[in-house]
Amino acid sequence: MLGIDPGLARTGIGVIRHAQGAFQRIHAEVIRTDANLPIATRLARISERVRECATKYRPAVAAVERVFVNVNPHSSLQLGQARGAALAALGESEVPVVEISPNAVKKNLTGDSNADKRQVAAVVRRLL
């Protein structure tokens, strides 16, 4: 499975495998884009890296965070654009996509849909 936490400045990618009742981390990275570059260049970088990971690891499915509405509409737009770049790369790579809300991820991992990033990270470290 390939998981994507999209963002224009930073997009997280993780690849895991589940075998014999355990999870194994295969790959993890953060795609960073320079705010001084044109947005089209930044989106192309995200798309390129997602496509490379999809091609290299051939996941059976990808999980992508669903867009939520920020207080700042500009931030929501940028998140949506980064997400679109990732989804397009997955589509080109013919990887099926499951969309999941941030609260559902938190709830499934920690039991609390309002868990903070540190709590989620602690559970992920234990699982992997």
Q: Give the tens place of pLDDT for each residue, 111-121.
A: 999 999 899 88
Tell me the percentage of the chain whose pLDDT exceeds 70: 98
Model's pTM, two decimal places?
0.89
Q: What is the mean pLDDT of residues 91-109?
A: 93
pLDDT at 68 exceeding the cut of 80: no
Q: Measure the CA–CA gap between 2 and 56, rounded to whole angstroms.
A: 11
Query: Residues of the chain with pLDDT > 90: what percent?
Result: 70
